[in-house]
Amino acid sequence: MFKILKQLLSRTAVLYVLAAIFLLSVGNFPRAWNHVVTSALSRYMPSHDYLLEFNRDRSTFNFKKNKEFELYYGKLSALMPDMPDAYAMQGFCYYYDGKTDRALAAYQQAVRLNPKVFNFYYNQGIIALKTRDEAKALALFKKSLSVPLVDNLQFIVTSRVYKPLLPVTKSSAVLADAMGQYLIDAYGRAYLQALALAATQKDYATMLLYARQGVAQGVLDQGVGSYYAGLASFGLKKHEASVGYIQEAVRKGFSYAQAFEIMGHALQALKRPESAAALMAATSLARDGKIYRPSVNFDLLVY
Amino acid sequence: MKKSIDLFWLVGGLTVLVWIFCFRVFLLREAPLISDAVSFYDHLKFYIDNISIGVYPLWDPLWSCGSPNEFFLRRIGPFNPLLLLLAIPYKLGLSYWAVFASFITFYYFLGMVGFYKLALEVLKDKKSALLAFVLLTFSSLGTRVFDSYIMMFMTPTIWFFYFLLVFGRTMQKYALAGLVFCVMLLMTTYIPFYFFVIALTFALFFLLVFPKESRDFLFHLIQFIRRNPWFFLLCLAAVAMSFIPGFMFFKQAGQGTFAMPLRHFNAGTQNVLSVESDVATYWAIPEDLLFSLFYLEDLRLFDFAVFYVPVLSLLFLVLGLFTHTNRKLAFMFIWGFFLFLMGSPYLVPVYDFLHRHVFFFKYFRNLHFFLWLVILPLLILFVVEQLRLFFNMIADDKRRKMMALYFVVAVHLAFAAFLFWRDSFNYSTWAVVVMSLLLFAAVLWGRVSLWVFYGLCFILVAVEPIEAYHHLSRNVSKYLALSVYDQATPDFQYTRGQKTILLVDSQDLTQETTARNNPLYFGTQWYNLLWDNVDFLVLKDYTFVKFILYDRVVSFDEQKQDLKTLEQTWRQQANLAYIPPVEMNAALKELNRPANSVAATPLVIEKESEQFYVSKSDVNTIRLATKLTVDKFLVFNDGYYPGWHAFLNDKPVMLYRANVAFKGIFLPAGRNVVEFRFGEPWRYRVEIFLLMFYLLFFAGFLRQWYKERNV
């Protein structure tokens, strides 16, 4: 027995065991791990110039650079698993790498960690749209719009992951203003996507709700909002309201063929055929160059 | 014996060729040097440029609009006789890059040959020493040649330990001379405190693990001193002399005349070389290791500063887990482990303790250097010794050979499973694992001899680095930019080019609190003031010309007055120079004229003319001839610094600190000859004496080695 023990103790592995025992008894692993991870990731972080440029102009996509960021955010989320923004950025890179399943999974993980971030849902909605799952996309856009803008703004300006990607300003107030405006535009995009999808799915109740809500919040163009409200009202057979909304839309500059056409149909339903006929004629005139086409934008938002 | 010599030359030669092939992109300058290697290239060029025309460069007019060159001389190790040899092909017309690339390759392999000899001393086995040589050569230490100047102290450190072991074993004079010469180099190259730590910890753990051998060594040393008192005294004197430049530089740093804000911004001591603990602990050994792991999962991402050893060494490490340990292994393990602990400040408080209680720990910051300087070579010696013990353990025992074969297969399968689990894309790693298994199986079955095994290991070691360094070559930027030192010409230039100031990028996730943006790396303390307080473009525009003749001079106290006043004056190009109030004297009072009595703008010298031209110049001296119609105040936009002297018609005159950071003199009307000279004559004598002394000592050491080579 003693001989076996002596044999075992004379092996090189014993040195490792002793070193491990020593480290486990005196080492401050949580403190060391925290610092080591932060420092190593900071150095590993690629230059953000590319992402900043790509965020401004999506035509500058570079596969190699995107891959670098994919790996970086992958490491960041693996080593700091409580950072939802890291998962989101990883998802962003996956999406542009053509890995939509992975992108979706990354955004879902981000939502699990923080369910109150607009772009986590919005970007998932875009991915669902890309994969032609329109019902899911609409549900996700709805969720994105349920996130209060102020909470989202707070999240973005305090995020360490987004920090290098934010506009460079010395004042936090200026940054908050800039990001506030950015979010207003982003929410506007989400409303447009939700309205276009609701229109396709003939979900008029949703369409009416979001059209009115978007206009009331000031993030949706009033002309477009009123048009969708008019369209929804027409679908819901509220013809009087529909005419009112469309008139409002035209007043706000939404003078597209569809607006006149719907108003014409609504007036016809309201038994006002003379006005309807005039509007139908106007519609055919307007069709030449003024057909409203909701823009299809499959770009994800960085934050 | 013959076989070992043949194999050494075959494997050694192939190693050199493959290494050069791996780094050909850098050696042929198709990709640029990175990081500190750029500074090394620049400062060495500056040194060689000047030494080759007989000027010892104590002043660098190209750095931060003129800075003392002592700091950069300390970095490159100016007394190293091998550096002087560079001047010969350079003078003969070879391009500087060709000279430089040849030198760094040669110096790297000088270190590797030293490591081979050291391994031979430690392992007492030629096959193992050769394997250790190949493993270290193909480790990522080779990449550091192109992104740092670590080799400048790695090579002498390796040779130091080689001579120390030889001296301990033989007590021969040449070995003592060799180790003394290495100490002399290490004392005058970069920061000697890394070597202090390495040598002291080595001595401490050697004493602990080898008490009897330590006692014997001391006993033999005393006998050696008795036999060779004068030789020993000469060695002691040589070591003492090598401390002189470092000591002088240290004293100079204590006066605060130059600034290193990046290093010293919050160090809490007077000496600008000192380093705050936070700066040193920010990047240490575990940080370096984790950072490297990010890249090693996929060799296609390979980059500089990644700590990498060929995968074969890791297989050896695992295979050697159950070999019998010996004191050599224990010593290497304990020493390396201690340095790992010291270099892991967030894990254990060893560094914190040493930083507080040992003075020289306040003067170096790169704790991760110990990973490259000691832990890497120790790891390689350790695994090679383990492998030797592994083969010794199973020699001539069939049952043990069979068990070893099972173990080898299990280890390789486990390794392959690990690679599979990590989703490894590295084909060369897979190839090494498979070939290693076959080779081990062949040797354990008795199909190949150990000599063949060790010889073939060369292929297994080299396969993976060839892939890694191929990716490195592809991943680096190919953008080549000429530095200001490349563009420097022997003729005096009246204006500066675009790059006068070094910008430091500091984008960082953790950098939220202490560091200022773009601090100056190195410069005079007054230039640092301007750097921090004057608009960068205004400063750059102002310093574009080197000479400005002013008609008005007023006093300006930068401690009390806002430097924006100066900035405004430069923006407006006003005819007004500033000097400190204490320097305002009767001669200058005449130039304290009202603004409306003189021209609106000063006379800016952008090229030579009959009225003003430079008749002679080198980096330490400049001589001008002037012919003015009225009295003027000449501002020479080259850094003001103690040690500069001004002469008017060969008579010493007062040198003013003009416009906060530059040199100025009063220039009377008429023909004059002005000279600015840097440094006292004794300083040059000391430097030249040391240069000669190092050269002679080196020659003497080589002669002694030749004499004693067969003893």
Q: Is A161 exposed, middle or buried (0-12, 13-18, 19+ CB in 10 A)?
A: buried
The letter for the amino acid at B160 is F
Would you call B587 exposed, middle or buried from its count of C-beta atoms within 10 A (0-12, 13-18, 19+)? middle
> By three-state DSSP, how is residue B665 classified?
strand
Distance from CA of A161 to the nearest CA of B (A): 8
> Across the interface, do B282 and A37 touch by the CB < 8 Å criterion?
no
| Burial label, A296 (beta-carbon count in 10 A; 0-12, 13-18, 19+) | exposed
pLDDT (average), residues A139-150 = 92
Q: Looking at residue B99, what is its pLDDT?
A: 95
Angle at A29 between CA A28 and CA A35, to 5 degrees: 100
C-alpha span between A269 and A264 (Å, rounded): 9
Q: What is the DSSP letter of B595?
A: G
The pLDDT score that the predictor gives to residue A171 is 75
Letter string b/e over residues B106-130, b meaning 16 or more CB atoms within 10 A of that residue's CB: ebbbbbbbbbbbbbbbbbebbbbbb
Residues of A with CB under 8 A from a CB of B: 10-16, 19, 23, 26-29, 31-32, 34-45, 47-48, 71, 75, 160, 164
The neighbouring-strand residues paired with B547 are B605, B636
Average pLDDT over residues B571-596: 88
Query: Does B268 score more than 60 pLDDT?
Result: no
Cα dist. B482→B27, B34, B75, B217, B643 in Å?
16, 13, 21, 52, 31
pLDDT, tens digit (0-9, with 9 covering 90-100), for B393-445 = 888 788 888 999 999 999 999 999 999 988 777 889 999 999 999 999 999 98
Quick one: pLDDT at residue B511? Answer: 36
Contact list in A for residue B323 (CB cut-off 8 A) is 11-12
The answer to whether the CB of B506 falls within 8 A of the CB of B518 is yes
Phi-psi region of B610 (alpha: psi -120 to 50; beta: other; left: phi over 0): alpha
What would the mean pLDDT of A45-54 be, rounded to a whole number? 90
Nearest to A124 by CA among A178, A64, A193, A68: A193
Residue-level pLDDT at B393:
87
Interatomic CA distance for residues A179 and A168, integer angstroms = 11
Task: Tell me which chain A residue has its CA closest to the CA of residue B324.
Answer: A11
Q: Which of B208, B236, B209, B242 is nearest to B221 (CA)?
A: B236
Residue bearing the bigger pLDDT, B685 or A9: B685
List beta partners, residue B662: B639, B658
Across A139-148, A252-261, B554-563, least confident range:
A252-261
Please determine, for residue B32, whether its predicted confidence score (pLDDT) is greater than 90. Answer: yes
Q: What are phi and psi of B259, to 5 degrees?
A: -125, 140
CA B81 from chain centre, in angstroms, equals 16
Residue whose C-alpha is closest to residue B575's, from B605, B604, B546, B534:
B604
Give pLDDT, residue A284. 62
Which pLDDT band, with edges at 50, 70 and 90, does A289 fall under? Answer: low
> Mean per-residue pLDDT for B686-707?
96
DSSP label at B654? P
Looking at the DSSP bridge assignments, the partners of residue B632 are B667
- The C-alpha R_g of chain B, in whole angstroms, comes to 29
Percent of chain A whose predicted confidence (pLDDT) is above 70:
94
Instruction: Using the predicted structure, report yes or no on whether residue A178 has a pLDDT greater than 80.
Output: yes
What's the burial of B642, exposed, middle or buried (CB within 10 Å: 0-12/13-18/19+)? exposed
Boundaries of every domain in chain A: 202-292
CB B312 within 8 A of CB B428: no
**Strand-pair partners of B60:** B67
What is the model's pLDDT at position B509? 38
How sure is the predictor about B515, in pLDDT bands with cuts at 50, 70 and 90?
very low
**Is residue B370 a contact partner of residue B343, using CB atoms and an 8 Å limit?**
yes
Of B707, B679, B550, B591, the residue nearest B248 (C-alpha): B679
Q: Which residues of A touch B511 (CB under 8 A)?
A: 42
Q: Which of A253-262, A284-293, B425-434, B635-644 shows the highest mean pLDDT?
A: B635-644
pLDDT at B264: 62
Single pTM value for the model: 0.87
pLDDT given at position B500: 38
The vertex-A294 CA angle with A290 and A295, nearest 5°, equals 110
Distances (CA, A) of B521 to B354, B497, B530: 26, 19, 14
Q: What local confidence, expressed as pLDDT, does residue A287 receive?
A: 54
Q: Is A143 helix (H, G, I), strand (E, B) or coil?
A: helix
How buried is A86 (Cβ within 10 angstroms: 0-12 exposed, 13-18 middle, 19+ buried)? buried
Q: Which pLDDT does position B265 carry in this prediction?
A: 58
Q: Which residue of A has its CA nearest to B301?
A: A68
- Taking the CA atoms of residue B172, residue B173, residue B179 and residue B183 in that order, the dihedral angle to the nearest 10 degrees is 160
Residues of chain B contacting residue A35, judged by C-beta atoms under 8 Å apart: 287, 346
**What pLDDT score was predicted for residue B498?**
54
Number of Cβ within 10 Å of residue B651's Cβ equals 7
- By Cβ distance, the residue of B325, B509, B511 closest to A41 is B509
Closest C-alpha to A41, from A13, A69, A22, A66: A69
Most confident of A10-14, A178-182, A216-220, B174-178: B174-178
Q: What is the mean pLDDT of residues A195-213?
A: 92
Q: What are the pLDDT digits (tens) for A93-110? A: 999 999 999 999 999 999
* Structural domain spans, chain B: 2-258+288-476+690-708, 523-678
Identify whether the C-beta of residue B131 lies closer than 8 Å to the C-beta of residue B8: no
The whole-angstrom distance between residue B70's C-alpha and the CA centroid of its chain comes to 14
Quick check: B375 and B340 in contact, CB under 8 A?
yes
- Indicate the pairing of strand B553-555 with strand B577-579: parallel
Handedness of CA A149, A153, A154, A160 (dihedral sign): positive
Give the model confidence (pLDDT) of B134-179 as tens digits. 999 999 999 999 999 999 999 999 999 999 999 999 999 999 999 9
> Mean pLDDT, to the nearest integer, of B692-696?
97
What kind and span of H or E run contains B645? strand B644-648
d(CA A262, CA B699): 101
Q: How far apart are CA A161 and CA B441, in angstroms?
A: 50
| SS3 state at A229 | helix
pLDDT digits (tens, 9 = 90+) for B303-352: 999 999 999 999 999 999 989 999 999 999 999 999 999 999 999 999 99
Q: How far is A296 from chain B (nearest CA, A)?
A: 36
Could you tell me what percent of chain B has a pLDDT over 90?
75
Closest residue to A40, CB basis, from B291, B386, B507: B291
Average pLDDT of chain B is 91
Q: Give B567's Cβ-side CA count (13 Å radius).
A: 16
Contact between B350 and B340 under an 8 Å Cβ cutoff? The reply is no
* Cα A172 to Cα B69: distance, rounded to the nearest angstrom: 43
> Which residues in chain A are closer than 8 Å to B346, comparing Cβ atoms?
28, 31-32, 34-36
Residues B653-658, mean pLDDT to the nearest whole number? 96
Encoding tokens for residue B477? 């930027």
A78 to chain B: nearest residue by CA? B294
ipTM, 2 dp: 0.85
> At B35, is the secondary structure helix, strand, or coil?
coil
Assess whether pLDDT exceeds 80 at residue B608.
yes
Axis crossing angle, helix A257-269 with helix A222-235, rounded to the nearest 10? 30
Q: Which residues of B touch A (CB under 8 A)?
A: 282-283, 286-287, 290-291, 294, 301, 320-325, 329-330, 333, 337, 344, 346-348, 386, 507-511
How far is C-alpha B484 from the geometric centre of its chain's CA atoms? 20
Q: Tell me the average pLDDT across B16-43.
A: 94
Beta-carbon contacts of residue A163 (< 8 Å; ≥ 6 apart): none
Residue A242: strand, helix, or coil:
helix
**Which residue type occupies B66?**
G
Read off the pLDDT of residues A69-84 as tens digits, 9 standing for 90 and up. Answer: 999 999 999 999 999 9
CATH number of A202-292: 1.25.40.10
Beta strands in B9-108 (DSSP E): 59-60, 67-68
Cβ–Cβ pairs < 8 A, chains A and B:
77
The whole-number pLDDT of residue B517 equals 52
Question: Does residue B74 register a pLDDT over 60?
Answer: yes
B556 Cβ partners below 8 Å, 6+ apart? Answer: B565, B566, B578, B579, B580, B581, B660
- Give the pair of three-digit tokens for residue B318: 């695992």
CB A170 within 8 A of CB A226: no
Burial class for B608, CB neighbours closer than 10 Å (0-12, 13-18, 19+): middle
A43 vs B contacts (CB less than 8 Å) = 283, 287, 291
Which DSSP helix (H) or strand (E) runs through B601? none
- Region B56-81: mean pLDDT is 94
